[in-house]
Amino acid sequence: MCNGCVHKQYPDRGNTCLENGSYLMNYQGCANCHQRDFVLISNKSTEDEDGEEIVTYDHICKNCEHVIARHEYTFSVVEEYQEYTMLCLLCGKAEDSISVLPDDPRQSALF
């Protein structure tokens, strides 16, 4: 993918995992055509492997179709938690875990 199109490579996004869309605050502009325009999504695919949903797509320049970054988002249920991950040169890296129970056992243990 293209390091010249982003301000920071794989910024830490904490627990913000994007299933679709683009993190435009990190978009510097297209290193190929030198335009800063919309970022399009192409080649989107969704796979289901052993109970894990994997969504991948390319971020591309609207003007010249230069590939800016490859985005990967995963979702799975592990025991009593929904697990999310994101890895993308443009959007960053992030992980999140949410309890499927009404009261998160991890939060109860803190009290």
For residue range 37-80, list pLDDT tens digits in order: 999 999 999 999 888 999 999 999 999 999 999 999 999 998 88
Query: Residues with Cβ < 8 Å from 111, sequence gap 6 or more?
Result: none
Q: DSSP of 3-66, one letter per residue?
A: GGGBSSSS-B-TT---SSS--GGGB---TTT-----EEEEEEEEEEETTEEEEEEEEEETTT--
Tokens at 60, concatenated: 């591309």
* Domain enclosing residue 72, as ranges: 24-99
Supply the pTM of this predicted model.
0.87
- Quick: pLDDT tens for 36-46: 999 999 999 99
pLDDT in tens, 9-36: 999 999 999 999 999 999 999 999 999 9
Mean pLDDT of the chain: 91
If one counts the domains in the chain, the total is: 1
> In this structure, is residue 80 part of a structural domain?
yes
CATH of residue 90: 2.60.40.4240
Angle at CA 43, nearest 5°, toward 38 and 45?
125
Q: Residue 105: what pLDDT?
A: 61
